[in-house]
Amino acid sequence: MNRLVLQNVTRRFGGLVAVDDMSFSVPEAGVTAVIGPNGAGKTTLFSLISGFLPPSSGRILFDGADITGLAPEKVAGRGLVRTFQLVKLFEDLTTLENVKVGRHLHTRSGLLAALARTPAARREEREVEARALELLTFVGLKLKADTPASGLSYGQQRLLEMARALAAEPRLVLLDEPAAGLNGEESAALSRIIRRIAETGTTVLLIEHDMTLVMNTADRVVVVDFGRKIAEGTPGEVRVDPAVIAAYLGSAETAPIARKDARHG
Ligand SMILES: Nc1ncnc2c1ncn2[C@@H]1O[C@H](COP(=O)(O)OP(=O)(O)OP(=O)(O)O)[C@@H](O)[C@H]1O
Ligand SMILES: [Mg+2]
């Protein structure tokens, strides 16, 4: 069964075709990576899937339902959430509070009722807090629960963004360059966390330039260049695909296996 299906999805910005007639499917199980040179259209693709941008044409199906053109909060409410290439946290809130905000997307009474302090809301608030602490433990940030988000290292902020996304209990999570700016040890830990997310039944679709992470973490890879899908397969297959090698050599970047992204570091 496919979690996500893209059918001929295109997005134009004026004369620029950022995503060009893209079709692929993401199965329920495992981790799928989207790779490609800078400006290939990867983040635009995520914005189309998560409802932040409407496609110019084409269809997007999530668990069989057409979500094309739905607003981001509608898409999130159905169980599809994203993280951002550049971290977007509530810097003045604590680590724990940031995760709780993500969780309120999922609870019945929501944030307003939590503020109203009815008995039901108080009970729900305790559950939200317990689940948020579980998620912080999962990403290794439990000891930072009461630290303001602004007091975390960059790597920790990326992990917090992930915990916040998972708090919505998504069936599909889109991670935009989760390893950008992380050191080797941090990205190895991240790889294990991503595998475990997939093992718990949440489908993972990630954009990543860190090829060690992609090779170690992804079950499948979709390669894009100039908005078009140029290859698809296992990490081992795409790594030796002539079209993929040509795309990376043709850009100002090194081949995918060797490339180490430094832009956000
Ligand atoms: N809102 C926008 N308005 C106009 N052009 C845009 C917009 N967003 C992206 N683009 C252009 O679309 C193309 C694809 O950009 P996108 O950010 O999707 O690439 P990317 O593959 O995520 O790149 P990177 O690896 O650098 O993050 C680029 O040429 C970019 O300049
Ligand atoms: Mg991008």
Note the pLDDT tens digit of each residue in 190-227. 999 999 999 999 999 999 988 889 999 999 999 999 99
CA Rg, the chain, in Å?
19
Which ligand 1 atom sits closest to the C-alpha of 44? 18
- Give pLDDT, residue 261: 43
- Give pLDDT, residue 122: 81
3 state DSSP class of 122 = helix
Contact between residue 75 and residue 82 where contact means Cβ atoms under 8 Å apart: no
Does the predicted model carry a pTM greater than 0.85?
yes
Nearest alpha carbon, ligand 1 atom 31 = 39
- Give pLDDT, residue 14: 94
**Phi, psi for residue 54 in degrees, rounded to 5:** -80, 145
- Give pLDDT, residue 251: 61
Q: Which of 10-24, 115-129, 140-154 has the lowest mean pLDDT?
A: 115-129
Nearest alpha carbon, ligand 1 atom 8 = 44
- Give pLDDT, residue 256: 55
What would the mean pLDDT of 180-193 be, rounded to a whole number? 90
Nearest alpha carbon, ligand 1 atom 3 = 13
Which ligand 1 atom sits closest to the C-alpha of 209? 25
Domains along the sequence of the chain with CATH: 2-79+170-258 (3.40.50.300)
- Give pLDDT, residue 111: 61
Q: Among 44, 176, 210, 261, which residue has the most ligand 1 atoms within 8 Å of its CB, making it the best to mutate? A: 44
Which ligand 1 atom sits closest to the C-alpha of 53? 1
- Which tops the pLDDT comparison, 33 or 184? 33
Q: Order of strands across the sheet with 57-62?
A: 16-27, 2-13, 57-62, 65-66
From residue 147, how far is each of 111, 118, 162, 189 by CA, in Å? 21, 28, 17, 21
pLDDT at 91 over 70: yes
Ligand closest in space to the Cα of 252 = 1
Mean pLDDT for the chain overall: 88
- Which tops the pLDDT comparison, 259 or 27? 27
Which ligand 1 atom sits closest to the C-alpha of 41? 18
pLDDT at 254 over 60: no
What would the mean pLDDT of 33-62 be, rounded to a whole number? 96
Q: How far is the CA of 171 from the centre of ligand 2 (A)?
A: 22
Angle, alpha carbons 76-81-192 (nearest 5°): 150
pLDDT at 264 over 90: no
pLDDT at 134 over 80: yes
